[in-house]
Amino acid sequence: MRSRATELGEVKDRIRRGAPKATEIQHAKGKLTVRERLDLLFDENTFTEIEPLRRHRATGFGLEDRRPETDGVVTGWGLVDGRTVFTFAHDFRIFGGALGEAHAQKIHKIMDLALAAGAPLVSLNDGAGARIQEGVSALAGYGGIFERNTRASGVIPQISVMLGPCAGGAAYSPALTDFVFMVRETSQMFITGPDVVRAVTGEEVTQNGLGGADVHAETSGVAHFAYDDEQTCLREVRYLLSLLPANNREMPPFAAGDDSADRRCEELLDLVPLDGSRPYDMRRVIEEIVDDGELMEIHARWATSIICTFARLGGQVVGIVANQPQSFAGVLDIHSSEKAARFVQMCDAFNVPLVTLVDVPGFLPGVNQEHGGIIRHGAKLLYAYCNATVPRIQLILRKAYGGAYIVMDSRSIGSDLSYAWPANEIAVMGAEGAANVVFRRRIAAADDPAEMRGRLVKEYKAELMHPYYAAERGLVDDVIDPAETRTVLIRSLAMLNRKHATLPTRKHGNPPL
């Protein structure tokens, strides 16, 4: 038995080391090996691997002579900050990480275990797609992954980390998960590669130009995060996991800090200009309010007129949705509506309370927006908020006009509490536009139309847009001192901590596409 145990140890040690030549090639590409990545992801000496001895049984095209252990994917579980997390990680050194039947079965098994155990699943993707030599068996393996991604959606957090190529149908698994991380220069995602694009359309493009990290973080919105190196990327994955519950039956981890719940935010009195047409950086407002100024922003470089970020308030994880006046005046458009809608849905699925900071002039006008479907895209955000049962708090900083005010979690669509700063202007539209419509004839008939317009604008503001108009009608719960915002939000979240709301019995809703 001792000799057998020694032999087993030698086999497993060889599997963990991998082929030296293949390791050199991996490092030469600026990439870590699969084992090095797992060491960065998990707490030290906590990773438990399953099926390390698995080998494929395919024949033909020389496969019967190449049967390495693991079959190009490492699966198992470990601890991240003491909490259980499951993973599957491609090993590009073996078959280029390409997926075959045995490879897929290993992934199916670990996904089933993650769902059964109610723990997050992190995939480390560095593979060349389907193993062509295994034909339809490989394609069926991807189908099994997609089905499991969908079944686990909203039940356990699913995080895809792109550390190499991901092409063709393989790209749809990350697209079905909650978060996608990418590394610049070494990771790419696309359905058809540059060669196919060139042959079909005549367009010349590089792999990074077609599906690199910056493209997906800024243009397509496929990637939520992009980093310069794998070490930083995996460190941020660990941080994200610290903000998420293990599953949809648990609350996000509470982390008490030294930032007092009663801290006054005097800086807010100077950060936000009273003039609604002047821009400012909403991120600075959020940093002033939340614990220790720490944020983890989602899609920071895509659809920049809206901010979606995780943070903590009084130790409690919250999801913050906020208009960004520094970008397109904070309007809602097609992309910002989609971005916020998905974030709201994700927070609701995993019991993360929502705080919405409003400074919105409306929806972006234009032919391209209308023809692009701003109606149905804006309705996605409306649907997401109306469907959310987590604690929801709205705070109106300055302007909140028209349908965009309603969509940004107003009391009328179910926000639990709505607060406003004393500079708030809640109206169907801005005073200038409203006066032009309401008083059109009086302005046209006046001897001095400009003077008349100015006087009527002031009159309209005084009557319908003063800071207490909505509060007088119960549409805002209170008008608060901006310096007390942090305290008010933390106390409100504490009160709503045991909120329980149910939706009508149904198979599922039918949200706008």
Give 86's strand partners. 77, 121
Of the candidates 381, 312, 375, the one whose C-alpha atom is nearest the C-alpha of residue 342 is 381
Question: Which one is catalytic: 119, 388, 404, 431?
Answer: 404
Question: Which one is catalytic: 96, 135, 144, 169?
Answer: 169
The structure tokens listed for 444 are 């046209």
How far apart, in Å, are the Cα atoms of 56 and each of 68, 83, 99, 121, 361?
8, 32, 11, 24, 59
DSSP per residue, 97-108: G-B-HHHHHHHH
Return d(Cα 391, Cα 500) in angstroms, integer.
9
Q: Which residue has the tokens 């991901």?
A: 166
Give 323's strand partners. 306
Q: How far is CA 38 from the centre of its chain?
A: 23
Can you list the pairs that 210-214 forms with residues at least 24 positions away whose Cβ atoms lie under 8 Å?
A: 212/182, 212/184, 212/185, 212/187, 212/188, 213/162, 213/182, 213/183, 213/184, 213/185, 213/187, 214/184
Of the candidates 373, 361, 372, 375, the one whose C-alpha atom is nearest the C-alpha of residue 324 is 361
If you count them, how many residues does the chain have?
513
Contacts of 210 (CB under 8 A, 6+ apart): 188, 190, 193, 194, 197
How far apart, in Å, are the Cα atoms of 297 and each of 240, 252, 478, 506?
10, 17, 28, 33
DSSP per residue, 309-337: EEEEETTEEEEEEEE-TTTGGG-B-HHHH
To the query of whether residue 404 is one of the catalytic residues in this protein, the response is yes
Alpha-helical segments (H) within 264-421: 268-271, 282-289, 334-349, 367-371, 374-387, 402-407
Cβ atoms within 10 Å, residue 342: 19
| Secondary structure class of 54 (helix, strand, coil) | coil
Question: Which one is catalytic: 96, 135, 168, 402?
Answer: 168
Question: Which one is catalytic: 96, 372, 403, 414?
Answer: 403
Return d(Cα 304, Cα 293) in angstroms, integer.
20
DSSP per residue, 407-432: HTT-GGGT-SEEEE-TT-EEESS-HH
To the query of whether residue 169 is one of the catalytic residues in this protein, the response is yes
To the query of whether residue 311 is one of the catalytic residues in this protein, the response is no
How far apart, in Å, are the Cα atoms of 178 and each of 132, 168, 174, 208, 303?
29, 20, 8, 23, 18
The structure tokens listed for 308 are 């979606």
Mind telling me the catalytic residues? 168-169, 403-404
